[in-house]
Amino acid sequence: MAPRKRTKPENRRLPQRWKWHGGKIYYQIPPALAGHPAFNGNRRRFLLGETLSSAHRKWAEVQAQFDLPTPNDMAALIKRFREEEVPKKRPTTQTGYLRSLGKIEGVFQEFHPGQIRPSHAYAHADRVKGGKHDVRVLSALLSFAVRIGMIDHNPLVGQVKLEGAKRRSYVTDEELARFYAVLPRKWQLYVELKLETGLRQSDLLQLTAQSITPDGLFRATQKTSKDLLFTWTPEVRAIIEELRALQQPVGSMFLFATRTGQSYYNPETGRADGFQSMWQRWKKKAGVSFTEHDLRGKAASDVTREEAQAALGHTNAAMTDRYRTAPDRVKPLGISSRLKPKKQ
């Protein structure tokens, strides 16, 4: 969090985060440096001295321990990242990135990018709501700093391991059957295709007649731009044939179109509000709580890890494992039989 605006005249000419209190000058410690040995373990404020000259001498000692940067290095990096990299993200991703960058700028504003250490990242992740996402954005920011030559390496890569948010509990077949029963036939086919492909909502809602090829169902994924071709199986072919046979708005190219022939998904906002409203009504009617995205987890859980990784378009198995929500099936060991008396 950035320091508050100064209201007392005696503090206005002091360096940032310095303030007079009780006739002494203190430094307000940023959250990321709370408890650092350079501040004798203090977490909120650090005594610099009783006069400006003594405060500057003490601050020079602190600077020597941190090799503190010239001002605005982090601010300049964040500004450039916002302008050059964030616009490349999906709209919903941009919103999350901008929120995290605001917090990063407040906490790490006095750092040079090369001074950030894994301990700072862990401290932020533990103390701040949404801190884990902030740290992932921070790592992306530092990788960008490497690319533009500001620092030599990203100190967080390979050093900071944060557990991702756990997916909800596994969607059972019974839950799915109840939900499936209340759907119109068009949206039953949507669920069937979701389970066969594991495609994200944005990708399914943007499938068109051009997605259907002689070799299978093709989609360049919205989030990762990865090209996926789902080869024809009897199940997928039957779904697509029935979808094409359904009455669609005249002139629409989308397989799951609105009444006006448009896609439910708006790529400019990254949202599908009309579709989500329908989904909420169906959930309430069926008495279930799982989300549309949870079906992607079920698709990943009901097949092998390798099959799930390929279908979901993940570059690494660790990401796929986050989606695999089904409990591990374990065969009982049969050891208790040893307790039974042996037959004579």
Query: The CATH number of the domain where 282 resides is what?
Result: 1.10.443.10
Q: How far is CA 140 from CA 58, 157, 176, 262, 265, in A?
A: 35, 9, 37, 35, 27
Specify burial of residue 64 (Cβ count, 10 A radius: 0-12, 13-18, 19+): exposed
How far, in Å, CA of 228 to CA of 317, rounded? 17
Q: Which of 101, 130, 147 is the last residue of a domain?
A: 147
**In terms of Cα–Cα distance, which of 28, 20, 25 is closest to 45?**
28
Does residue 342 fall inside a structural domain?
no
Q: Which of 66, 92, 108 is the last residue of a domain?
A: 66
Instruction: Work out the pLDDT band at 163, boundaries 50, 70, 90.
Output: low
Q: Which of 147, 182, 202 is the last residue of a domain?
A: 147
What pLDDT is recorded for position 22? 86
Same domain, 250 and 202: yes
Residues 6 or more apart whose CB falls under 8 angstroms from that of 127 comprise 31
Helices (H), 148-230: 173-181, 185-197, 201-205
Token pair recorded at residue 81: 């990242």
Does residue 168 fall inside a structural domain?
no
Same domain, 59 and 93: no
Does residue 205 fall inside a structural domain?
yes
Does residue 113 fall inside a structural domain?
yes
Same domain, 106 and 48: no
Residue 165 has pLDDT above 60, yes or no: no
3-state class of 98 per DSSP? helix
Mean pLDDT, to the nearest integer, of 199-228? 85
pTM score, whole prediction: 0.54
Same domain, 186 and 315: yes
**Of residues 309 and 30, more confidently modeled:** 30
Mean pLDDT, to the nearest integer, of 168-185? 87
How far, in Å, CA of 279 to CA of 28, rounded? 49
Does residue 165 fall inside a structural domain?
no
Per-residue pLDDT tens digits for 251-308 = 889 999 999 999 998 887 778 889 999 999 999 999 998 888 888 888 777 666 666 5
What pLDDT is recorded for position 182? 95
% residues pLDDT > 90 (the chain): 22
What value does the mean pLDDT of the chain take?
80
Mean pLDDT, to the nearest integer, of 311-340? 56
Does residue 153 fall inside a structural domain?
no
What pLDDT is recorded for position 72? 46
Q: Let me know how long the chain is.
A: 344
Residue 66 has pLDDT above 70, yes or no: no
Same domain, 32 and 101: no
Token pair recorded at residue 163: 């557990």
> Do residues 249 and 259 touch, judged by C-beta distance below 8 A?
yes
How far, in Å, CA of 99 to CA of 121, rounded? 17
Helices (H) and strands (E) in the chain, counts: 13, 6
Residues 6 or more apart whose CB falls under 8 angstroms from that of 327 comprise 170
Same domain, 231 and 283: yes
Does residue 316 fall inside a structural domain?
yes
Total domains, the chain: 3
Same domain, 113 and 203: no
User: 107 phi and psi, to 5 degrees?
Assistant: -80, -40
Same domain, 115 and 239: no
Mean pLDDT, to the nearest integer, of 185-200? 90
Q: Which helix (H) or strand (E) holds 227?
A: strand 227-231
Same domain, 41 and 94: no
Residue 329 has pLDDT above 60, yes or no: no
Residues 6 or more apart whose CB falls under 8 angstroms from that of 42 comprise 29, 34, 35
How far, in Å, CA of 298 to CA of 36, rounded? 45
Sign of CA dihedral 143, 144, 148, 150: negative
Mean pLDDT, to the nearest integer, of 139-151? 86
What pLDDT is recorded for position 6? 60
Same domain, 204 and 304: yes
Same domain, 188 and 297: yes
Same domain, 32 and 86: no
Mean pLDDT, to the nearest integer, of 204-230? 84
Does residue 156 fall inside a structural domain?
no
Q: Which domain holds residue 300?
A: 173-323
What pLDDT is recorded for position 330? 46
